[in-house]
Chain A
Amino acid sequence: MGTTCILDVATPLTMVLAETTSQDSIYYLHGLDLVAQSDGTTIDYLAYDGLGSVRQVLDDVSVPLLNQTFDPYGNLLARGGTGESRFGFTGEQVDANGLVYLRARYYQPGMGRFLNMDPSRQEMNPYQYGFSNPIDYTDPSGLIPIECMIDSDSDECLDARFRPYIVSREQWGAREPVFEYCYEDFYGEECIRGEDVFWEGLYDADCNPDGYAPYEDYKPGQTLEEIIFGAVIHHSGNTNDMTIQEVQNEHMDGNEHMADIGYHFVIAKDGTIYEGRDIGVRGFHVTAANTGRVGILVVGDFEPGDWLGTYPNDMKISNEDPDIPTSNQIDSLTALIRYLDVIYGLRLVEGHNDVNPDTRCPGNRLEPYVVQLDSQFGGE
């Protein structure tokens, strides 16, 4: 009989949430790591060593049900107790045949090597595990070793643990930033550079301080962790269900003539997170407060009826069809804010109208979530 698994594929490394056979089910509870497992009646807690390997399974009064130890390459040295867990070396699933499932491929602790070649082709030795240094490196993706001990706060490790799946600019076919806007009029082609206030252009401290500003040019010597302090959440309003490509086209070809999409991230209605403007570049999503603030668009109109005009024609003209953020959007937004908080240390999670009070963005149906995220992830 087979086993049915429920997976969380929105995390950087796919996680098992539940396993069901015809006889029983096991549910896995995740915090920042796998915290506990439950058969529906009792909860057992997992205890890890520095490498993230499951060394003990404890009951709800901390009595050890299972003790196990591994050698540096993950061979089981000793095991005792009546408890069970499918998770072992480096906290990964171990199949009944002793192979460790590392997602892209299986690892064989007895040989200290992978059974298959590295599909990413990034390693000189395509079968080698953890640069042959399993004390300092793990390889949870099966693609690239990372120096990621449990509780490690290296950027690489935090990124691997917390980064949600984000569709890259390359994947969605983003246009490259443009710093010069040209149009043709009666007198021929005219080009406007960034010094025109209604055109973003490239940052220049003297001539175009409002321009497209990579932080390395705008604030040299400062890290992104020092600069980024907040996230601002937007909705797409009356234009409602836009694709990432449409958002970028509107920003670059609209009245502002932005150099690129103004937001750093866009979350579609199905919860997919798209990479927008490079996070190392100042955004263009609020008035006069973009430095250090990450712009996030949640696609939808979360305050229907706030604009009842008839122009442009594709805008809503009634307050019917109210939108609410989808549960996928809220899950993705939460994962993204958590990731930004871990990497940059957010001190504020704001709605657009917290920064510019004259707008109703991000809408009264999204605002409660913004308040909740600020209380959860904002603050000192």
Chain B
Amino acid sequence: MTRTLLLLGTLWVGVLLGLCGCQSLEDEIAENETKAKAIIAALDLYQQTYGMYPDTLEELSPVFIYRVPLTADEEEFQYRNYDDSELGYRIAFSVNSNYGCGYEAKFEEWECSPDPE
């Protein structure tokens, strides 16, 4: 009986978290990075095709990616083409008002940090 109640309680908490859309910082970052992987792959394809990166992510759709995904918060990923063959581009997203993550093509690596201001 106790075990059943515990199980039901756990399920209920899970349902509540799902309903309110609550997600831990780590989960949200992981989800956004996974979504961004598709964009990064499409950018690489674009670059191989045209020898440069697009000025906006919209230019990837629909040929290189069917639809540019949004972040977990339904925001657009920030994108910047440096117009520099060594630097390439940068993709970034905010997780909340004072925390964000960015991917520099030069380093092929994500960096996350709070807003220092």
| Partner-binding segment picked from B50-58, B64-72, B104-112 | B104-112
A295's closest neighbor in chain B, by CB? B116
CA A380 to CA B84, docked complex, whole Å = 7
B85 touching A287, Cβ below 8 Å = no
A379: which B residues are within 8 A, CB to CB? Answer: 84
Count: A-B pairs, CB below 8 Å: 67
For the complex, is B114 an interface residue (Cβ under 8 Å from A)?
yes
| Partner-binding segment picked from B1-9, B11-19, B39-47, B94-102 | B94-102
B116 touching A292, Cβ below 8 Å = no
Tally of A interface residues using CB under 8 Å: 26
A229: which B residues are within 8 A, CB to CB? Answer: 86-87, 106
Chain A 284-297, CB-CB to B under 8 Å as 1, else 0, gives 11111111100000
- The smallest beta-carbon distance between B68 and chain A, in angstroms, is 18
Interface centre among A198, A262, A287, A347 (most CB of B within 10 A): A287
A residues neighboring B (CB under 8 Å): 197-198, 209-210, 229, 251, 256, 258, 262, 284-292, 347-348, 356-357, 359, 361, 379-380
- The smallest beta-carbon distance between B27 and chain A, in angstroms, is 14
B residues neighboring A (CB under 8 Å): 25, 78, 82, 84-87, 90, 92, 94, 98-102, 104, 106-107, 109, 111-117
A348 touching B90, Cβ below 8 Å = no
- The smallest beta-carbon distance between B31 and chain A, in angstroms, is 16
Q: Given A262-B116, A359-B117 in contact, is the A289-B107 Cβ separation under 8 Å?
A: no
A292 touching B100, Cβ below 8 Å = no
A-B pairs, top 7 by smallest CB distance, nearest first, are A288-B102, A288-B100, A287-B100, A287-B115, A289-B102, A210-B113, A288-B101
Q: Given A197-B25, A348-B82, A357-B78 in contact, is the A287-B113 Cβ separation under 8 Å?
A: yes
A286: which B residues are within 8 A, CB to CB? Answer: 116
A256 touching B116, Cβ below 8 Å = yes
CA A285 to CA B114, docked complex, whole Å = 10
Partner of A356, one of B82, B112, B115: B115
Q: Apart from A210-B111, A288-B112, what 4 extra A-B contacts exist at CB < 8 Å?
A: A256-B114, A291-B107, A292-B104, A379-B84
* Interface SS of chain A: loop
B116 touching A347, Cβ below 8 Å = no
- The smallest beta-carbon distance between A244 and chain B, in angstroms, is 16
- The smallest beta-carbon distance between A64 and chain B, in angstroms, is 44
CA A288 to CA B101, docked complex, whole Å = 5
Interface centre among A251, A258, A380 (most CB of B within 10 A): A380
A198 touching B85, Cβ below 8 Å = no
B116 touching A284, Cβ below 8 Å = yes
A209: which B residues are within 8 A, CB to CB? Answer: 111-112
A356: which B residues are within 8 A, CB to CB? Answer: 100, 115
- The smallest beta-carbon distance between B117 and chain A, in angstroms, is 7
B114: which A residues are within 8 A, CB to CB? Answer: 197-198, 256, 287
